[in-house]
Structures are given as C-alpha cells and as structure tokens.
Structure 1
Amino acid sequence: MSLVDVSNVSAGLFITGAIFILLIFSLLSFGILKMFQQQVRTGWYSFAGAVVSSVVFGLILNQWFI
C-alpha cells in the first residue's frame, strides 16, 4: 500500500464530488427507507433520482474536470 498525493486536486473538483456523493447516497438511503415503509412509488422515485444524479455527476466530471 502506498501514499496517494491529493495536493493536485482542485477545490472545485473536491466540492463538486462531495456534493454529488452526499446527494446520491442520501437519495439511495431515502429510497431504501421508503421501501421499508411500504411506499414503493416514492422509493422508486428516489432510486431514479440517484441514477439521474449519478449520470449528471459523470457528465459534469467529463465536461469540466477531464
């Protein structure tokens, strides 16, 4: 195992990644919670929101940071 140098990561990339990671995983958690509460439609909407957020995150990374 070796050390990883993260000094070259820009602040914009870090903030964008943090926001989208929080958004995606909170939507997934909310979807699982709603499925356990037997609110299937709301759960599927949350899962769809997580997928859409993942795609948007990938597009933003591809356009701005790569």
Structure 2
Amino acid sequence: MTLVDVSTISAGLFITGAIFILLIFSLLSFGILKMFQLQIRAGWYSFAGAVVSGVAFGLILNQWFV
C-alpha cells in the first residue's frame, strides 16, 4: 500500500465533491426510508432526485474541473 498525494486537489473540487456526495447519498437513503414507510411516490421522487443530482455532479465536474 502506498501513500496518495492529495495536495494537488483544489478546495473547490473538494467542497463540490463533498456537497454532492452528501446530497446524493442522503436522497438515496431518504428514498429507501420512504419505501419502507410505504410512501412509494415520495420514495421514487427521492431516487429521481439522486439520479438528477448525480448527472448534475458529472456535468459540473466535466465543465469546471476537467
């Protein structure tokens, strides 16, 4: 196992990644919770929000950081 140099990662990339990762996984977990509560429509909306957030994250990464 080797060390990874993370000093080249910009603060903007780190903050953007942290915000989107928190958003995507919170929407996924909220969707699973709503499915267990048998609120099917709200669960699917949360899953759709997670997918839209993932696509937006990919577009932002491609536009600003690549």
Q: For this pair of structures, how many residues does the alignment match?
A: 66
The alignment yields a C-alpha RMSD, in angstroms, of 0.3
- State the partner residue of 1:17: 17
- 3-state SS, counterpart of residue 22 of structure 1: helix
1:34 maps to a residue whose letter is: K
Structure 2 gap segments, 5+ residues each: none
Runs of 4+ displaced beyond 6 Å: none
Q: TM-score normalised to the size of structure 2?
A: 0.99
Q: C-alpha separation between the residues in 2 aligned to 1:24 and 1:43? A: 14
Structure 1 gap segments, 5+ residues each: none
- State the partner residue of 2:37: 37
- Deviation, structure 1 residue 23: 0.1
Q: TM-score normalised to the size of structure 1?
A: 0.99
Q: Deviations over 1:4-48 (max 9, x none)?
A: 100000000000000000000000000000000000000000000
